[in-house]
Structure 1
Amino acid sequence: MTELVLVEGVSDVQLISYYLQNVYGWKHEKSNILGIFQLDEHEHIENLSKNENQLILCGVGGNGKFAYFVEQHRVNDMIVEKDISSLMVVTDRDESSDVKVTRVINNSLEKISVKAGQWMNNSIEDSFKQQKIISTYLLIIPGNEKGALEKAIIDALNDIPEETDLIQKVVQFIDSLKRELVPELNQTNKANKATVGTFFSVRAPKNAMRSLGIFISKIDWSKSESLKMLFLPFQYLGEGKPIETK
């Protein structure tokens, strides 16, 4: 079973890869059976395995890059030609509605479609005109409010007892800067990015200039109930899916 997961950027790949390995038992691999590899410095590909299953976790290069990634990597052709059992898409809600986010993703897909918050089966013909089933899922982050991955990270840090005090103080600090010094922080997504960046820099000052992935690996994300609930759909990767048939 080969499963494909498309996410926005490097930070998403790093956090989700950590979670899949440390919570759901996936293991890192050097290569993938589909031959998907990074085409530029903005993309990020990680390959995971569990039992006989392979999972290819693709950072597409940022918000708005899903259609470009699908086209450049011939994902629509792979869905028909290759033995792919599922496609999962993880994207930020930002300021959009679920309906708009879903429409944008589905516009990049040809033979299959995704639905927010639900596994579903898509019946298609393969390259030999035989019927096959592709399971799909659209996970929009954060769960029930506007924002992006950084908001989910802040909520998760609030859940973890040894991180709670620091993240709350950092939130207060960023809030104090909004009024006069940095008006740009009145934009929610930018304030959340600043909060996450400041938290990790203060928590591990010697690594302050290093990538987010260094920090992510140092947090026990399994202790966060909010992240556990948000990432529940990942438990079905490599397993049978709770399906609504299309």
Structure 2
Amino acid sequence: MNKIILCEGETDAILLSYYLGKVAGWEYCKKAPDGIAIKSNTFDQSVNWYKKDDDRLLICSVGGKDKFAEFFRSTVMRPIVDAGAFSRIALVLDRDDKEIQSIEAHASSVFKPVVTTMKNNEWIKNSYMDAYGIEQAIDALLVVIPTEHQGALETLMLDSIAENSYDEAIVKRAGEFVDEMKTVASRYINGRRKEIKAHLGVTWAVQYPEKVFKLINEQILSVKWENSEVLRKCFEQLIKI
């Protein structure tokens, strides 16, 4: 069976592929299942297939938090409606400063008319009419990160790093440094999203000074995220995909 995860950006896709590989046994594969041709539309999007036994998983980064609906309509909806290409679909969203209820309401509109109901950390069976007028079913999951407080993917990663008492002190001091620095570097650190990214960047610069010039994907893959209790709780339903 084929499943699909849609996330915001490349960082999300890298972390998800690493975590699902380590925890759930998904392995990267180059070839898509026969009859499914889904490609990225722009340079800031990615489409990668993974396999586990006879199942296939597609992880797509759509290129931004406001591009989910557009990506779904232009790339994913027709394969589902015309050929039932996917049996399960998951949407991974940053919480930012929103309440869970409002995110659930928004998520329930993103994949219409295929999916009309989504709940955070809960698989919901949705029904839709296929191209032949026959009612079909698809399971849908919403994953809001982080769940317990405001923030984004970088916040979740910082929470995970801070599980270690030694690294917790580094995360705390790195945050204090960014809070102080943003007043003299407002050209670069302007807005909450960039503050969080800077916080993670400073933390990593202290933890791995020899890797500070490596690409972000190398940084992500160097951390044993599979040992994190924070990530286990956040992705406990996603690994069931």
Category of TM-score, reference length = shorter chain: 0.7 to 0.9
Residue in structure 2 matched with residue 214 of structure 1 by the alignment = 218
Which amino acid is 2:50 matched to?
L
Check if 1:194 corresponds to 2:195.
Answer: no
Structure 1 residue identity aligned to 2:199: T
| Partner residue, 1:152 | 156
Structure 1 segment 1-246 matched on structure 2, within 5 A? 1-33=1-33, 34-73=36-75, 75-82=76-83, 83-109=85-111, 110-117=113-120, 118-160=122-164, 163-178=167-182, 180-182=183-185, 187-237=191-241
Deviations 1:9-52 (A, max 9, x none): 00000101100001111111113222212222100122111111
Q: Is the 8 A contact 1:116 1:140 kept in 2?
A: no
Q: How many residues align?
A: 235
**1:167-224 deviations in Å (ceiling 9; x for gaps):** 233223223324x424685844332111111222333334323331110110011221
Contact 1:98 1:116 in 2 (8 A): no
Shift of 1:137: 0.7
2:87–2:139 contact (8 Å) kept in structure 1: yes
Q: CA deviation at 1:132?
A: 2.3
Which amino acid in the other structure matches residue 171 of structure 2? I
Query: Is the Cα–Cα contact under 8 Å of residues 5 and 57 in structure 1 kept in the other structure?
Result: yes
Cα displacement (A) at 1:161? 5.5
Name the structure 2 match of 1:243. none
Is the CA contact (8 Å cut-off) linking 1:96 and 1:146 kept in structure 2? yes
Inter-partner Cα distance in structure 2 for 1:3 and 1:138: 14
With over 3 angstroms needed to count, the CA separation of the structure-2 counterparts of 1:233 and 1:32, relative to structure 1, is same
Indicate the residue corresponding to 1:241 in structure 2: none
- Structure 2 CA distance for aligned equivalents of residues 161 and 29 of structure 1: 37
- 1:43-102 CA distance string (max 9 Å, x none): 0122111111100000000111112211221x2222212331011000111122223323
Q: 1:123 to 1:216 in 2, by over 3 A?
A: same
> SS of the counterpart of 2:25?
coil
Asked if 2 retains the 8 angstrom alpha-carbon contact of 1:142 and 1:151, the reply is: yes
Answer whether contact 2:141 2:238 (CA < 8 A) is retained. no
Counterpart-to-counterpart distance in 1, 2:17 and 2:80: 22
Which sections of structure 1, spanning at least 5 residues, go unmatched?
A: 238-246
The gaps in structure 2 that reach 5 residues or longer are none
- On the 8 A contact 2:107/2:118 being kept in 1, the answer is no
Contact 2:90 2:238 in 1 (8 A): no
Relative distance call for 1:186 and 1:125 in structure 2 (3 A) is closer
Deviation at 1:228, TM superposition (A): 0.8
Tell me the amino acid that sits aligned with residue 31 of structure 1: K
Structure 1 CA distance for aligned equivalents of residues 219 and 147 of structure 2: 23
Deviates more, 1:96-105 or 1:15-24: 96-105
Distance (Å, rounded) in 2 between the aligned partners of 1:186 and 1:129: 50
Q: How big is the alpha-carbon RMSD for the aligned residues of Structure 1 and Structure 2?
A: 2.1
- TM-score by length of structure 2 reads 0.88
Letter in 1 for 2:26: W
Closer/same/farther in 2, CA of residues 172 and 2 from structure 1, 3 Å limit: same
Distance 1:175 1:161 in 2: 21
**Aligned AA (1:215):** Q
